[in-house]
Chain A
Amino acid sequence: MTARIGVVTFPGSLDDRDACRAVQRAGAQPVELWHDQASLRGVDAVILPGGFSYGDYLRCGAIARFAPVMGELTEAAARGLPVLGICNGFQILCEAHLLPGALARNAGLHFVTRDVTIRIENDTSAWTRQYRTGQDIRVVLKSGEGAYMADPQTLARIEATGQVLARYASGNPNGSLREIAGIVNEAGNVAGLMPHPEHAIDELTGPSADGLGFFTSALRAVAIP
């Protein structure tokens, strides 16, 4: 049976189509989920894609966290459903308190589109088990508010518990604390990533095919024995 991975579209989501393509490329079946419907339609994992949900007015992700779809998502995440927030999706997961910390305006105050190398720091999460800790991969960063911020206690905690998922390894592009590019919750099923792995699934349209591992990792995580 093919795994079914949901991709949520909020008003203003932009990379939803790309996330679906990556899911398909990984060998799973993408399922479109609509922000206004509470049901997750029985999917095995969920991706919150990049974009500018609700125009990112007020604060990135601040309105999306109240969307009807987020209710069941929060409950399912607590039960272990793999959830990946990419870029705006990461911001939404932080706003929803499913992940610690927050994303702030880039240090240079400008939107940055750049191919970046990130180093995988945790290869046991639902979204990174296809990688090795210490592995460098090439993905796409494209965001205006991508600087990861957290208070010192939170930073110390997520470092100690292995919740730092990936760090920028080719210079800090946006002022993220400790070069953090992505984090995961303590249980290892809810991950947030500022760069876009779904834009690195083939060399024709991206800097590499390295990003595919996030999606094949989820396939392994939800595999029915």
Chain B
Amino acid sequence: MSHNVAATAESPVQDTVAGAAATPDRPQPFAALGLTADEYARISGLLRRRPTDAELAIYSVMWSEHCSYKSSRKHLRQFADSAPATDVLLAGIGQNAGVVDVGQGYAVTFKIESHNHPSYVEPFQGAATGVGGIVRDILAMGARPVGVMDALRFGPADAADTRRVLPGVVSGISFYGNCLGLPNIGGELAFDPCYAGNPLVNALCVGVLRHSDLKLAAATGPGNQVILFGSRTGPDGIGGASVLASASFGGAGEGAKRPSVQVGDPFMEKLLIECCLELYQAGLVVGIQDLGAAGVACATTELAAGGGTGMRVRLDSVPLRDASLGPAEILMSESQERMMAIVEPGQVAAFLNICAKWDVQATVIGEVTDTGRLEMTWHGEQVVDIPPGSAADNGPVYDRPAVRPASQDELAANSPALLPLPASGPDFRADLLLLLGSPDGGDKTPVTEQYDHYVRGDTVLAMPHDAGLLRIDDQSGLGVALATDGNGRYCQLDPYAGTQLALAEAYRNVAVTGARPLAVTNCLNFGSPEDPAVMWQFTEAVRGLADGCRQLGTPVTGGNVSFYNQTGGTPIQPTPVVGVLGVHDDVRRRVGSGFRAEGASIVLLGETRPEFGGSLWAWLRHGHLGGQPPRVDLAAERALAGLLATVAARGLVVAAHDLSDGGLALALAESCLSGGTGCVVRSPADAATFLFSESAARAVVAVRPGAAGDFAAACEQAGVPAQVIGTTGGSNLELEGLFSVPLDELAETHRAALRNLFT
């Protein structure tokens, strides 16, 4: 059982509830805490007095953009309002993470979250604690975390600051995820100058539970005890939620908003995972919440609001790592590896016993009440007395102005149609090698080999395949596939279509493995919502995702918004990252992306049009970004996904690879390299479109020898255009009559792209 670090004798006199009522005019530093004058007035109005310092701490973090979604909430409602009819959702938006029924009594919970700003300030710890935070979200749903992914975006690979940030971020993810024993099964790594001063670090976690194990963040049952367990509370990350995540990086010398990043301890988190799972199994948990941004303030307000109850908390009971912390700091601390549980009084002893077995410190800090008030004391004096819902659910909601900027017209008018296309065999060969040897198209092994993707023994597919695939059930072969995608260039050209293209690509990446796409999570990375042009991008992206999910029949289960991704006045490209989860009925029938055997006929599925707007080819070859992104055709995506699931289940294909950045050229090269087998392909007359267009709703497959007839019939039945373009075999990537590249040269070019990042 815990011991408590007593408050020091010289603790300053606390600002009590009674004191606040008696001193209405005492000035308070609300602005430094990130609250506006209007918001401060609103707090005083709803409390009918000024807030105490501790209460101000709670509201400042809970009403921060990061926790309250005050600029996005109005728009995010569309995900629920226009969600497709579905019976797979066991818990949806508003919970720590969405929970999806995947059959056979299993449910899966998954979510992606940003840790962009902390990772820029302190790459190693910022990225590490990003993983830790999302894992606790999954754990809090009652699930065993079983895998992680990360979607990363940086400035140019050769920029000095990328060499500071990227190795640190990768080491942080590697350190934390590997030490937790969670396989890292995929993600993204992309580079663009727009991320040079504002990298994106989005982490996803997936967990598995039985339906009956579902846990909710609700403090029910007056008299039940509130237990804080895990690490002790220290001064790390204080104010991170309000100050760090909700304001852009400005110039130097902003001492008042000096950010502070938390420090992670993955060993403690591993103990916390095993401890929680044993507590769940013993039936000792009524409700549970992880402590992330806004720490104790967030957990207590959300648990009480979620339960429709009240709560009394003795803040001086919170075990501290730094005895000098006062109530406001304890409330705001973002110390990692902490959870809060609601436990029946008769089960507290059993709860504490299990925590002791795992060397996890656990302390009763309060109890559930029926007062509808969140009350907190500090050495007997009342320092907080608020309605919990006012902080957790009923914060300010802003309808910020959104205006399509005139620059969109210029972008659209800058059509790629005028770009010179490769004309000769050597031109095509050079352009392929340009893409394959670029940081975006290159081999990601220097990064991904720092991640353990084998641990837990259920990883069926991981990098460099299109999606990660995890086995859930040994006997039946039931599994889940996951992919994340985003494309800032497409979204810059058209945020509505670009977001749908991200959704479609993740959906397709899941489908090529043979899985059926089921549900969606998202991490919406944007600039400042106070900029009407950014707000327009955001509203278009949300509308695009909601419309797209309805058409694909895949509900949004939850997600995260990250605003203020900009340096000075320049925002990043709008970068919604979409994660799609699919269910695989039998992972033994999974389809990988590599050409592994000779003599399979190669078929291009879908329709190819000359579409170069936002393409990797236009960007790398000509530094061009303009025109329109590829056409979105979600009906075609659905038909393609249906076909891919059918042919996988029937064993008609031996490889399948999604076509996206870099078009067919890059896809063929990747399939040759990952499977170790070459191919010979015939191009139609318009070879530039054939090789480098990024038309959506396409995949390339290798058909099992002898199955060509069945495969063609399946394509026809699904209404998916199919074109036989060549055969696997040999040790070259050969385009008949155009060019040929030996696999060794391909591999060397591919590997060289990121080789020097870690030296």
User: Are A and B bound to each other?
Assistant: yes
Give A contacts to B, CB under 8 Å: 11-12, 14-15, 17-18, 21, 50-52, 54-57, 108, 110-114, 140, 142, 144, 196, 198-199, 204-206
Interface membership of B531, Cβ < 8 A: no
Q: Are B174 and A17 in contact (CB under 8 A)?
A: no
Interface membership of B587, Cβ < 8 A: yes
| A202 closest partner in B (C-beta) | B457
Q: Are A113 and B451 in contact (CB under 8 A)?
A: yes
Bound Cα distance A150, B322 (Å): 42
Interface membership of B452, Cβ < 8 A: yes
Bound Cα distance A199, B458 (Å): 10
Interface centre among B180, B452, B588 (most CB of A within 10 A): B452
Partner of B456, one of A12, A18, A108, A140: A18
Partner of A205, one of B358, B451, B458: B458
Interface membership of B181, Cβ < 8 A: yes
Q: Are B460 and A52 in contact (CB under 8 A)?
A: no
Take A21-B457, A204-B460, A204-B588 as given contacts and tell me if A113 and B267 are in contact as well, using a CB distance cutoff of 8 Å. no
Bound Cα distance A199, B457 (Å): 6
Within 8 A of A (CB), among B147-181: 171, 174-175, 178-181
Q: Are A111 and B178 in contact (CB under 8 A)?
A: yes
Bound Cα distance A211, B758 (Å): 31
- Chain A's nearest CB lies how many Å from the CB of B704? 18
Q: Are B171 and A204 in contact (CB under 8 A)?
A: no
Q: Are A111 and B457 in contact (CB under 8 A)?
A: no
Further contacts, 6 of them, CB under 8 A, given A55-B268, A111-B452, A198-B457? A17-B456, A52-B270, A56-B179, A110-B174, A112-B449, A113-B449
| B178 closest partner in A (C-beta) | A111
**B457 to chain A: which residues have CB within 8 Å?**
15, 17-18, 21, 198-199, 205-206
Q: Are B452 and A54 in contact (CB under 8 A)?
A: no
**B758 to chain A: which residues have CB within 8 Å?**
108, 110
**A11 to chain B: which residues have CB within 8 Å?**
267, 270-271, 358-359
Interface centre among B180, B266, B271, B449 (most CB of A within 10 A): B449
**A50 to chain B: which residues have CB within 8 Å?**
455
Q: List 30 A-B pairs, Cβ < 8 Å.
A: A11-B359, A12-B267, A12-B270, A14-B181, A14-B270, A15-B181, A15-B455, A18-B455, A18-B457, A51-B181, A52-B178, A52-B266, A52-B267, A55-B266, A55-B268, A108-B758, A110-B174, A111-B450, A111-B451, A113-B452, A114-B449, A140-B454, A142-B178, A142-B452, A144-B178, A196-B454, A199-B454, A205-B458, A205-B460, A205-B471
Interface centre among A11, A113, A144 (most CB of B within 10 A): A113
Interface membership of B369, Cβ < 8 A: no
Bound Cα distance A148, B171 (Å): 22
Q: Are B452 and A57 in contact (CB under 8 A)?
A: no
Q: Are A55 and B267 in contact (CB under 8 A)?
A: yes
Bound Cα distance A126, B254 (Å): 65
Q: Are A142 and B587 in contact (CB under 8 A)?
A: no
Q: Are A113 and B265 in contact (CB under 8 A)?
A: no
Interface membership of B453, Cβ < 8 A: yes
**B453 to chain A: which residues have CB within 8 Å?**
113
- Chain B's nearest CB lies how many Å from the CB of A132? 26
- Chain A's nearest CB lies how many Å from the CB of B409? 47
Q: Are A206 and B450 in contact (CB under 8 A)?
A: no
Bound Cα distance A199, B758 (Å): 27
**B242 to chain A: which residues have CB within 8 Å?**
none
Bound Cα distance A50, B587 (Å): 26
Partner of B459, one of A54, A111, A205: A205
Closest CB pairs A-B (n = 6):
A55-B267, A14-B181, A18-B457, A199-B454, A52-B179, A142-B452
Q: How many residues of B contact A (CB 8 A)?
A: 32
Interface string of B575-589 (1 = CB under 8 A from A): 000000000000110
- Chain B's nearest CB lies how many Å from the CB of A215? 14
Give B contacts to A, CB under 8 Å: 171, 174-175, 178-181, 265-268, 270-271, 358-359, 448-460, 471, 587-588, 758
**A204 to chain B: which residues have CB within 8 Å?**
460, 471, 587-588
Bound Cα distance A144, B459 (Å): 20
- Chain B's nearest CB lies how many Å from the CB of A105? 13
**A15 to chain B: which residues have CB within 8 Å?**
181, 455, 457
**A12 to chain B: which residues have CB within 8 Å?**
179, 267, 270-271
- Chain A's nearest CB lies how many Å from the CB of B157? 17
Q: Are A57 and B460 in contact (CB under 8 A)?
A: no
- Chain B's nearest CB lies how many Å from the CB of A28? 17
Take A11-B271, A12-B267, A12-B270 as given contacts and tell me if A113 and B454 are in contact as well, using a CB distance cutoff of 8 Å. yes
Q: Are B450 and A110 in contact (CB under 8 A)?
A: yes
Bound Cα distance A91, B601 (Å): 49
Partner of B267, one of A17, A18, A54, A140: A54
Interface centre among B179, B455, B587 (most CB of A within 10 A): B455
**A205 to chain B: which residues have CB within 8 Å?**
454, 457-460, 471
**A199 to chain B: which residues have CB within 8 Å?**
454, 457
Bound Cα distance A156, B28 (Å): 73
**B588 to chain A: which residues have CB within 8 Å?**
204
| B357 closest partner in A (C-beta) | A36
Bound Cα distance A205, B359 (Å): 33
Q: Are B450 and A113 in contact (CB under 8 A)?
A: yes
Interface centre among B178, B458, B471, B758 (most CB of A within 10 A): B178
Partner of A14, one of B265, B448, B455: B455
Q: Are A142 and B267 in contact (CB under 8 A)?
A: no
| A15 closest partner in B (C-beta) | B455
Bound Cα distance A80, B748 (Å): 49
Bound Cα distance A144, B179 (Å): 11
| B458 closest partner in A (C-beta) | A205
**A112 to chain B: which residues have CB within 8 Å?**
449-450
Take A12-B267, A114-B449, A205-B460 as given contacts and tell me if A142 and B181 are in contact as well, using a CB distance cutoff of 8 Å. no
**A108 to chain B: which residues have CB within 8 Å?**
758
Bound Cα distance A33, B618 (Å): 59
Bound Cα distance A52, B265 (Å): 12
| A112 closest partner in B (C-beta) | B449
**A52 to chain B: which residues have CB within 8 Å?**
178-179, 266-267, 270
**A17 to chain B: which residues have CB within 8 Å?**
456-457
Partner of A57, one of B175, B267, B359: B267
Partner of B265, one of A55, A110, A206: A55
Bound Cα distance A142, B177 (Å): 13
Bound Cα distance A18, B181 (Å): 11
| A206 closest partner in B (C-beta) | B454
Bound Cα distance A98, B588 (Å): 41
Bound Cα distance A129, B171 (Å): 38
**B359 to chain A: which residues have CB within 8 Å?**
11
Partner of B179, one of A18, A55, A198: A55
Bound Cα distance A51, B270 (Å): 11
- Chain A's nearest CB lies how many Å from the CB of B109? 20
**A21 to chain B: which residues have CB within 8 Å?**
457
Bound Cα distance A108, B759 (Å): 9
Bound Cα distance A206, B471 (Å): 13
**A111 to chain B: which residues have CB within 8 Å?**
174-175, 178, 450-452
